[in-house]
Amino acid sequence: MQNQGRGDREGSGPLDKKRRIDLHVHSTASDGTMEPLEIIEASAAAGLAAVSITDHDCVEGCIRVIESGIPLPVKFLTGVEISTAPPGNFYHPGSLHILGYDIDVYDEPLNKELALLREARNRRTPLILERLEKLGIHISEDDVKRFAGGSQIGRAHVARAMKELGIVSSIDEAFKIFLGKNGSAYVEKKRIPCDAAIEKIIRADGVPVLAHPGLIETDGCEGLESLVKTLVDMGLMGIECFYPQHTKKQTAFYCQLADRYGLFVTGGTDFHGALNPNVALGRATGDFYVDYELYEKLVNRNRKKPPLLQDVTGQDQ
């Protein structure tokens, strides 16, 4: 398939403001600060044509949108972002993130796997708090839970608690000094093998996509292509080519890889709301642009069964 993902635009300068979309958004169901339906309303207010909620290791945000029973003002695409372990022959410190688009959010095997990841995430937070305590920083689980709104708790909620208690001046500072990969209170998290994540997404009739490849540490372009080829052999179906932190050169290269291996092209802002106020929904820092065409290619693909949510605006897609 030809991606025609506007690889010459590198995410800058919209061709048509009415066709702008955002396919990488986080809600309060994971580590975002906006409720799922607030994201839908904000997407409409921002003039987006389509949006996907891709929470970390959970689909509760998508379910809330689907089960709201109200006509939605924008096209909605179900999604998830799964933390995975890199392939055995590839070194990368941290997780490889695999996005799953247009998934059946009620798929039992997928939900069982995600539940295990969330349980591990919930066990991780007390360990982080223990490490902070040893550093002389006292934060209770109740302090953290206030920011989770009943959803899974994670590092972002710890960071918000640290900021409110005056321990740090910003969320970014909390991650740089304490919670990030090299932080003094960092705790490794459980990851599933990337081939298992890809398989679960496909079984849920979704499209597995490699998230923000520009953030992956590789041995240059050859190293990244080798990784992509390995993931394609596992069933990978797309690359998130358009991402705010990608350079023009990177974006062009990722689009070339998508063409070379017959992959879907996707893009999004990685919006988290107030957690990162400099990233606006659909626009990132201002001129970022992902075209509606990419959404259309995803939902119009050949599939095993009809999409879970074909009509979210009162009209057929």
**Dist. CA 128–CA 110, nearest whole Å:** 27
Longest dimension (CA), the chain: 57
Q: What is the pLDDT of residue 223?
A: 92
| Selected residue with higher pLDDT from 147 and 177 | 177
Q: What is the pLDDT of residue 304?
A: 60
Q: Percentages helix, strand, coil for the chain, rounded to the nearest 5?
A: 40, 15, 45
**Dist. CA 58–CA 63, nearest whole Å:** 10
Domain assignment of residue 176, yes or no: no
- Counted domains in the chain: 1
Domain assignment of residue 79, yes or no: yes
CB 40 within 8 A of CB 32: no
Closest CA to 43 of 239, 309, 299, 292: 292
Q: What is the pLDDT of residue 243?
A: 97
Domain assignment of residue 241, yes or no: yes
Is a pLDDT exceeding 80 seen at residue 15?
Answer: no
**Dist. CA 110–CA 199, nearest whole Å:** 9
CATH code of the domain containing 27: 3.20.20.140
Domain range for 64 is 17-105+205-299
Place of tokens 């959970």: 58
Closest CA to 79 of 25, 151, 20, 3: 25
Domain assignment of residue 148, yes or no: no
CB 22 within 8 A of CB 48: yes
**Dist. CA 298–CA 264, nearest whole Å:** 7
What would the pLDDT profile of 148-206 be if each residue is shown by its tens digit?
766 677 888 898 889 989 999 988 899 899 998 889 999 887 889 999 999 999 999 99
What would the pLDDT profile of 264-279 be if each residue is shown by its tens digit?
999 999 999 887 888 9
**Dist. CA 313–CA 178, nearest whole Å:** 43
Domain assignment of residue 190, yes or no: no
- Maximum average pLDDT range among 92-101, 166-175, 202-211: 202-211
**Dist. CA 245–CA 140, nearest whole Å:** 34
